[in-house]
Amino acid sequence: MADETKTAKLTIGDKTVELPVFTPTAGPDVIDIRKLYGQAGVFTYDPGFTSTASCDSTITFIDGDEGVLLHRGYPIGELAEKSHYLEVCYLLLYGELPSPTELEDFEDRVTNHTMLHEQMMNFFRGFRRDAHPMAVMVGVVGAMSAFYHDSTDINDEWQREVASIRLIAKMPTIAAMAYKYTIGQPFVYPRNDLDYASNFLRMCFAVPAEDYVVDPILSRAMDRIFTLHADHEQNASTSTVRLASSSGANPFACIAAGIACLWGPAHGGANQACLEMLKEIGTPDRIPEYIARAKDKDDPFRLMGFGHRVYKNFDPRATVMKQSADEVLELLGVENNPTLQVAKELEKQALEDPYFSDKKLFPNVDFYSGIILEAMGFPTSMFTPIFALARTVGWISQWKEQLNDPQLKIGRPRQLYLGETQRSYTDIENR
């Protein structure tokens, strides 16, 4: 917990209470209201948590006004350029960059857990072929609690560690199998001689009749997409994982809850929604029509891949993603990809429009990621599962941090009740 450096005074009617104020290592001060109800008999009201810190954390820091994202203090741009996903996983989980032997050991541990219990295949086969892969992932990850009993005891540090490694290792296998199932192809088993991203690409695109030789540039681009999605402090799905875990639920159940939350179009589902929107726009001449719709208060349409609760400046992940889109499309010889042209023109027109600049709406990570993923051969339905597999390490790091917090309490928000006050039951014949 941060040091208490100041106090805040809150006056309600004729009562004044003093509340401690914590100063973080970075970011705005935080007023500690935990004793407010006891002292003043009032709750605070903040649906959507726009002004509320739900926990203290040392993992990720975002300065939304400046467009800064740091993992354990390291800027995301530097990590995307110089590091790679499994090293970032280590950093998020353990707090420091690994030494060469620590990294080798970590990679070995992850690699040796990539296979799924064979009986889990039956779960996949129980789904309809046209199931969304996110539906399959929620089910299969939740079902891991029924298979890996030796890593569900959250009070055992060793079991927590094994669960963490298992989840990071098996998520690409699960996502790839969910994909293979929906397209009616046989599952492709992981191969431990491949790196994390290459293994995932191969499990998605190889078939028994023909192996898939992974292009190192595509593998690097995949790894970068994973890195850019690895963690993002207390977003909706991470908060869901923390809330689920606060009751003592097992790690697989908590991560399944996170996947369910991520699925929504305002969160991880935005990458799928964004590419579908770009395709629907189709040609640059139709952009003004869509911008007008996004500005129209009576139209629920929003520019997908635009805006963010925290970033009121460029999302630093979007900058790297845009560069990556250019590189990957050039490599694949599709630099004149019409969707990329629409995306670039839409970004330009939106940024020139005062509606978006006044509201500080900028492209977010999802604006360009779908274009890269589609160029790699993924259907839109796989975009959010890829986000989920990449974010798993963030969820787990936050889950572990919370379990190590001696002040952990079950999450239990209060409410502003606006319903009926107590009244007597009326018998049905008198209604």
Question: Which of 144, 254, 261, 270: binder of ligand CMC (CB under 6 A)?
Answer: 270
182 belongs to the binding site for ligand CMC (CB under 6 A):
no
What size, in residues, is the chain? 431
Amino acid at 272: Q
Q: Between 146 and 266, whose beta carbon lies closer to ligand CMC?
A: 266
Spatial contact of 204 and 389, defined as CB atoms under 8 Å apart: no
Edge to edge, the sheet with strand 30-31 lists 4-12, 15-22, 30-31
Residue from 56, 366, 405, 427 carrying the catalytic annotation: 366
The candidate with the shortest Cα–Cα distance to 164, out of 388, 397, 405, is: 397
d(CA 398, CA 373): 27
Of 18-26, 92-100, 177-185, 263-271: span binding ligand CMC (CB under 6 A): 263-271
Known catalytic membership, residue 366: yes
Contact between 304 and ligand CMC (CB under 6 A)? yes
Residue 49 as a binder of ligand CMC (CB under 6 A): the answer is: no
Q: Does 266 bind ligand CMC (CB under 6 A)?
A: yes
**Residue 172 or 305 having the CB closest to ligand CMC:** 305
Residue 308 as a binder of ligand CMC (CB under 6 A): the answer is yes
279, 309, 312, 344: which one binds ligand CMC (CB under 6 A): 309
* Chosen residue from 151, 234, 235, 240 binding ligand CMC by CB under 6 A: 235
* 3-class SS of residue 17: strand
By the rule CB under 6 A, 197 interacts with ligand CMC: no
C-alpha angle 64/66/71, rounded to 5°? Answer: 65
Residue 71 known to be catalytic:
no
- Applying the rule CB under 6 A, the residues between 59 and 118 that interact with ligand CMC are none
**Distance in angstroms (rounded) separating the CA atoms of residues 101 and 98:** 8
Write down the least CB distance from residue 268 to ligand CMC, Å.
5
- Distance, in Å, from the CA atom of 356 to the CA atom of 158, rounded to the nearest integer, reads 49
**Residue 412: which of 24, 31, 17, 43 has the closest Cα?**
43
As measured in angstroms, the least distance from the Cβ of 139 to ligand CMC is 21
Residue nearer to ligand CMC on the CB measure, 168 or 261: 261
Binding of ligand CMC at residue 366 (CB under 6 A)? Answer: yes
- Quote the least distance from Cβ 277 to ligand CMC, whole Å: 10
Going by the DSSP 8-state scheme, the letter that residue 210 receives in this structure is B
* Short-list 106, 398, 389, CA closest to 226: 389
CB atoms under 10 Å from CB of 329, counted, come to: 19
Identify which of residues 241 and 304 has a Cβ nearer to ligand CMC in the complex: 304
Ramachandran quadrant class, 415 (left: phi over 0; alpha: psi -120 to 50; beta: rest): beta
The answer to whether residue 391 forms part of the interface with ligand CMC (CB under 6 A) is no
Sole binder of ligand CMC in the list 180, 224, 267, 322 (CB under 6 A): 267
The tokens for 62 are 């975002």
Asked if residue 302 binds ligand CMC (CB under 6 A), the reply is yes
Asked if 29 and 373 count as a contact pair (C-beta separation under 8 A), the reply is: no
Query: Does the protein bind ligand CMC through residue 228 (CB under 6 A)?
Result: no
Residues 32, 308, 405, 427: which is the catalytic one?
308
Closest CB 337 distance from ligand CMC, rounded Å: 20
Closest to ligand CMC by CB, 249 or 365: 365
**CA atoms of 323 and 304, how far apart (whole Å):** 19
The CA–CA distances, whole Å, from 48 to 150, 164, 264, 281, 417 equal 36, 29, 15, 31, 16
Q: What residue ranges bind ligand CMC (CB under 6 A)?
A: 235, 266-268, 270, 294, 302-309, 359, 361, 364-366
Active site residues: 308, 366
